[in-house]
Amino acid sequence: MSRASEGWQVGPAPGRGLRPGKDGLLELPLHVLRPGRASLASLVLTVVEAEQLHAALCYALGDKPAPENAPECRKPIRYPGGRQKY
């Protein structure tokens, strides 16, 4: 979870992953914490916006080596119990 000014924090919602939304959009549930409150919100992206975010993250990571347990790009992650997430 990242920390913003004035005590706000935003990060992926625990136990929820990226999911397909309506009309081909993608929704990433976020957990938003601010002093005295917790909320859920979704970052809604088109496929083009998701690709732009993906490219920007790849660029930002640069030549840093991927952790051994990092998933391969564009392959689903399987969690214990058979659940699959982005």
Residue pLDDT, tens place only, 3-42: 656 788 898 888 888 889 899 999 999 999 988 888 999 9
User: How far is CA 39 from each of CA 20, 27, 31, 33, 48, rounded to the nearest angstrom?
Assistant: 21, 16, 6, 6, 27
For the chain, what's the residue count? 86
pLDDT digits (tens, 9 = 90+) for 35-60: 888 899 999 999 999 999 988 988 88
**CA-CA-CA-CA torsion sign (13, 78, 68, 74):** negative
- 10 Å CB burial of residue 2 (0-12, 13-18, 19+) is exposed
